[in-house]
Structure 1
Amino acid sequence: MNDMTTTIDRRQMLSCLAGGFGSVGLAAMLGESAAADSTPSKLSLPHHAPRVKRVIFLFMNGGPSQIDTFDPKPELARWEGKRLPVLDQNTNKLLGKPRPLGNAFPSPWKFAKHGESGLDVSELFPHVARHADDLCLIRSMCCDSFFHAQGTLEMMTGSGLFLRPSMGSWLTYGLGTENRNLPGFVVLGNVMGNVDATKVFSSAFLPAEFQGTRLANLKEPIPNLKSPLADDEQRARLDVMQQFNARHLSRRNDTSALNARIEAFELAYRMQTVASDAFDLANESAAMQRLYGLDETKTNAYGQKCLLARRLVERGVRCVVVNHIDWDQHSNLMAGHAKNAGEVDQPIAGLLTDLKQRGLLEDTLVIWGGEFGRTPNTEGKNGRDHNTAAFSMWLAGGGVKGGHIHGVTDEFGAYTVEGRTHVHDLHATILHLLGINHEQFTYRYGGRDYRLTDVFGNVVREILA
């Protein structure tokens, strides 16, 4: 038995699943849960006819500048070199290092109208601009968390202060997965170094099997995917191990973590037998790889993530987060944003084109944005500070209006003046598009009913198709 256990541990049974990297929400699909009075089967989901089945979140960690991407502010040119009467608060003051924000900083990039809708898009995104009529642009986003760690946590979980389940965990808990041989919630790439990914993509108090499966190395996204053992021997060894796990489980009250590990070993076994194809980008044609920019050095890394995201959602994965980091330009805005946009523009456009050609965009929701925006005045000589009062995000796909703009910011892009859309409202809208009433989708923990939107949030019905 010791030799058997050593063999299983050495191969780690796809360690990124069975270890600390996460698992999938199989319990929702099977009608099982560690919390007997909060099982997905008793939630009677969906609450109404869904517009979409799955979500791809293109997360630009660090905070892209709305003023330089999707919210042009020509008035800033008139104020260049002058002190703006807005945004006295900044990170330096909050950190006890009083240093005033600088003068007005007009965008160094030109904007043009695109598509029949005439949507304004910066020259930073020439490829995405060709999809202007598919984009539902929210210019009036706002949030509560001023720093990256808290802002990322808020965007992904609804709370910047407390550990809460990630949005993908909520979705797999409630709706399960359409493919029991793959994780239901997958995270591609890392977040910024000062952001704790284990919290951001955690299942928190939901059963542990619903946490995100994080894949950082796309050259070997799933370690040990091919088993050195024959299938019958692999199955026999796993059955023995599961018998011991079941005996251990029967003697304890707190079962969530062990349940997750048992499910992870079973998932790992199934993935070793059938899932290799999903992660093999070499199966894609040369033309498809060019579409995503895999033939260019600067777009290769994010292009691989976007192409893998399509391969995963078409195989039934419920939620995929595709991370891109380093949008935090407190200085050298021109160089930093130009580099970042150059790395993601073509892959994102390729993803939208590919989803549309395959008929997947009709029931897939694609989301683009960061944890907050940037200021219209300079920090230092040529950077922008954080701005939680106004920033831009866009959605594309089933259930939202293409070529539509929701919300208005002031003439400087500093504050929202119309159509204020909080992160809670965004989450409520995402759940609505998936057929879920956010106020009724709860989980009892510690004597209280929790939900993704806490006690806030309204569906942004103005953006619904």
Structure 2
Amino acid sequence: MRCEGNPFSRRGFLTAGALGGLGLSLPELLMREAMAEQKSYDFVEAKAKSVIHVYLPGGLAHQESFDPKPYSPLEYRGEMRTIKTNTGEVFAETVPQLAKRADKFSIIRSMTHGEAAHERGTHNMFTGYKPSPALQYPCFGSVVSHEYGPRNNLPPYICIPNVPNEFAGTGYLPSSYGGFALGADPARDGFKVRDLDLAGGVDAERFVRRKQALQMVNSNFVSATAADNVGAMNTFYERAYSLLDTPAAKEAFDIEKEDAKLRDRYGRNQAGQRLLMARRLVEAGTRLVTLTYGGWDMHQNITQGFRSQMPSLDQGLAVLLDDLSDRGLLDETLVMVSSEFGRTPKINTDAGRDHWPKVFSVMLAGGGIKGGMIHGASDSTAAEPELDAVSPADLATTMYRLMGIVADKELMAPGDRPIEIVDGGKLISPLMV
């Protein structure tokens, strides 16, 4: 464990020089270590009560969104024009609504890693770790679920509409910390979350009898085996019962309860309704919501692709920021918009851009993040970081700290191996309130 400002870290104590120099007895050593751990883990101030993680699969082009290069040659800057933000910065013309609200969020223009394959880049951006053949790492939502558990009987980690990829899972943590998937798109007519209503012919009294009978059966299985899937299934059942028994929690999933005019403002489309559902869930008590939108792997016709997909996202994100702010939720809700990597500096022969992990952009808002800032910079052709490079581990460490979780806390992997939640990440302090 590494803890800033803490001279009594675990690794510090385990060095012979530190122990001999301090002259500590074993009881004194253990007492101070316990005090250091308690101070590190229990008393980190949480700025964000919830996170909305908006993930844009495929690799969002930073040049056509938050990091345009208007003075570079045409083959680098592309066809898009730029637009001034309300803070005086410049974005691509694809995000006019967000440009009007640039004072409410910040942009990291210097995200970087070395993985040009979709799967490996996605792993980085969902876990804060490079992929390893030896260990599967848990995603952000599963770690948050592990550290905090449910609130208001809502699942702590929810995916809209489904678990987005294989790296959005529990990794080495027990499977009970997996994400709850809606199973359907809230933009569809007649949207309904699966499994939230009692089966036909089952009234409340019969439900209670079934619950009691199942609990008796499950207790025998759990006491007879330590298998993860048995314990996880028992946990899932208990949480499902809690959800079904709590009308307010069930109502959070009912998007029809929203004012029709507000739904129109978000946009009656995938981006708008998924973002609105995310706001409903964090307002009701969910700790981390992951949602996906669009396909940004634009190897061809990138201008057309952005003009098709970005307007809905631009509108929905802008209204989400307004809505959270109006409800007094923005200061306690971290909104993070990310992708697995960026796109090549130069337009290819098919009028698109290819995979480029060396530099790309991430948007952060609320939950302890300052508004109206640009952190870091790419070079003149958006090819590499020029200033203040940020790694996935840095981003993850910052997100966890804003939630009150110390990122280098050790969790136990199979074989009783202690593994840090994030290894080696640094706080992006200039962006933090």
Q: TM-score, normalised by structure 2?
A: 0.85
Q: Quote the residue 2:45 is aligned against.
A: 49
- Given candidates 403, 424, 432, the residue that maps to 1:456 is 424
- Given candidates 231, 243, 255, the residue that maps to 1:271 is 243
1:154 aligns with 2:124: yes
Q: Which whole-Å CA distance do the structure 2 matches of 1:250 and 1:43 have between them?
A: 35
Structure 1 residues 248-263: aligned runs within 5 Å: 248-254=221-227, 256-263=228-235
Deviation at 1:387, TM superposition (A): 0.9
Determine helix, strand or coil for the equivalent of 2:252. Answer: helix
**CA distances 1:426-458 after superposition (whole Å, capped 9, x unpaired):** 0000011111221125334334211332x2211
**CA distances 1:309-345 after superposition (whole Å, capped 9, x unpaired):** 0110001100001101310001110111221202211
- Whether contact under 8 Å (1:427, 1:452) holds in the other structure is no
- Whether contact under 8 Å (1:167, 1:452) holds in the other structure is no
Q: Quote the residue 1:110 is aligned against.
A: 81
Structure 1 residues 195-234: aligned runs within 5 Å: 197=165, 199-218=166-185, 219-227=190-198, 228=200, 229-234=202-207
Q: Quote the residue 1:131 is aligned against.
A: 101
Q: Which amino acid aligns with 2:330?
A: L
Q: Quote the residue 1:423 is aligned against.
A: 392
Determine helix, strand or coil for the equivalent of 1:279. Answer: coil
Deviation at 1:224, TM superposition (A): 3.3
Deviation at 1:221, TM superposition (A): 4.6
Deviation at 1:42, TM superposition (A): 8.4
Determine helix, strand or coil for the equivalent of 2:76. Answer: coil
Q: Quote the residue 2:297 is aligned against.
A: 328
1:435 aligns with 2:404: yes
Q: Quote the residue 1:121 is aligned against.
A: 91
Q: Which amino acid aligns with 1:134?
A: K
- Whether contact under 8 Å (2:267, 2:316) holds in the other structure is yes
Q: Quote the residue 2:315 is aligned against.
A: 346
Q: Which whole-Å CA distance do the structure 2 matches of 1:350 and 1:311 have between them?
A: 13
Deviation at 1:135, TM superposition (A): 1.3
Q: Which amino acid aligns with 1:75?
A: Y
> Number of aligned pairs?
386
- Given candidates 250, 256, 259, the residue that maps to 1:285 is 259
**CA distances 1:38-77 after superposition (whole Å, capped 9, x unpaired):** xxx9898544111111100111111111111111212322
- Given candidates 382, 406, 409, the residue that maps to 2:378 is 409
Q: Which whole-Å CA distance do the structure 2 matches of 1:364 and 1:279 have between them?
A: 18
- Whether contact under 8 Å (2:330, 2:367) holds in the other structure is yes
276-285 or 320-329, larger mean C-alpha shift: 276-285
Deviation at 1:267, TM superposition (A): 2.1
Q: Flag the 1:412–1:148 CA change in 2: closer, same or farther, 3 A.
A: same
Q: Which whole-Å CA distance do the structure 2 matches of 1:443 and 1:351 have between them?
A: 37
Q: Flag the 1:317–1:366 CA change in 2: closer, same or farther, 3 A.
A: same
Note the residue ranges of structure 1 that are not aligned, 5 or more in a row.
Answer: 1-40, 81-103, 295-299
Determine helix, strand or coil for the equivalent of 2:334. Answer: strand
- Given candidates 370, 375, 378, the residue that maps to 2:344 is 375
Deviation at 1:186, TM superposition (A): 0.6
Deviation at 1:128, TM superposition (A): 1.5
**CA distances 1:81-110 after superposition (whole Å, capped 9, x unpaired):** xxxxxxxxxxxxxxxxxxxxxxx3323111
- Whether contact under 8 Å (2:46, 2:402) holds in the other structure is yes
- Given candidates 225, 235, 248, the residue that maps to 2:208 is 235
- Whether contact under 8 Å (2:107, 2:361) holds in the other structure is yes
Note the residue ranges of structure 2 that are not aligned, 5 or more in a row.
Answer: 1-36
Determine helix, strand or coil for the equivalent of 1:223. Answer: coil
- Given candidates 245, 260, 263, the residue that maps to 2:218 is 245
Deviation at 1:200, TM superposition (A): 1.7
Q: Which whole-Å CA distance do the structure 1 matches of 2:278 and 2:179 have between them?
A: 14
Q: Which amino acid aligns with 1:233?
A: R
- Whether contact under 8 Å (2:175, 2:232) holds in the other structure is yes
**CA distances 1:286-312 after superposition (whole Å, capped 9, x unpaired):** 221122112xxxxx1221111110110
- Whether contact under 8 Å (2:378, 2:385) holds in the other structure is yes
Q: Quote the residue 1:183 is aligned against.
A: 155
Q: Which amino acid aligns with 2:76?
A: F
Q: Quote the residue 1:21 is aligned against.
A: none
Q: Which whole-Å CA distance do the structure 1 matches of 2:214 and 2:150 have between them?
A: 25
Q: Which whole-Å CA distance do the structure 1 matches of 2:301 and 2:278 have between them?
A: 31
Determine helix, strand or coil for the equivalent of 2:424. Answer: coil
Q: Which whole-Å CA distance do the structure 1 matches of 2:167 and 2:267 have between them?
A: 29
Identity rate, percent: 32
Q: Flag the 1:63–1:43 CA change in 2: closer, same or farther, 3 A.
A: farther
Determine helix, strand or coil for the equivalent of 2:364. Answer: strand
Determine helix, strand or coil for the equivalent of 1:68. Answer: coil
Determine helix, strand or coil for the equivalent of 2:144. Answer: helix
- Whether contact under 8 Å (1:119, 1:133) holds in the other structure is no
1:356 aligns with 2:352: no
Determine helix, strand or coil for the equivalent of 2:347. Answer: strand
Deviation at 1:212, TM superposition (A): 1.0
266-275 or 390-399, larger mean C-alpha shift: 266-275
Q: Quote the residue 2:20 is aligned against.
A: none
**CA distances 1:22-47 after superposition (whole Å, capped 9, x unpaired):** xxxxxxxxxxxxxxxxxxx9898544
- Whether contact under 8 Å (1:54, 1:364) holds in the other structure is yes
Deviation at 1:356, TM superposition (A): 0.4
- Aligned-residue CA RMSD in angstroms? 2.0
Q: Flag the 1:402–1:168 CA change in 2: closer, same or farther, 3 A.
A: same
**CA distances 1:104-156 after superposition (whole Å, capped 9, x unpaired):** 332311112211x2132211011111210011110000123211112112211
Deviation at 1:215, TM superposition (A): 2.2
Structure 1 residues 384-399: aligned runs within 5 Å: 384-399=353-368
Q: Flag the 1:221–1:142 CA change in 2: closer, same or farther, 3 A.
A: farther
- Whether contact under 8 Å (1:53, 1:363) holds in the other structure is yes
Deviation at 1:390, TM superposition (A): 0.5
Q: Which amino acid aligns with 1:410?
A: D
Q: Quote the residue 2:277 is aligned against.
A: 308
Q: Flag the 1:437–1:272 CA change in 2: closer, same or farther, 3 A.
A: closer
Q: Which amino acid aligns with 2:167?
A: V
Q: Flag the 1:277–1:178 CA change in 2: closer, same or farther, 3 A.
A: same
Q: Quote the residue 2:13 is aligned against.
A: none
Deviation at 1:406, TM superposition (A): 0.6
Q: Which whole-Å CA distance do the structure 2 matches of 1:172 and 1:224 have between them?
A: 21
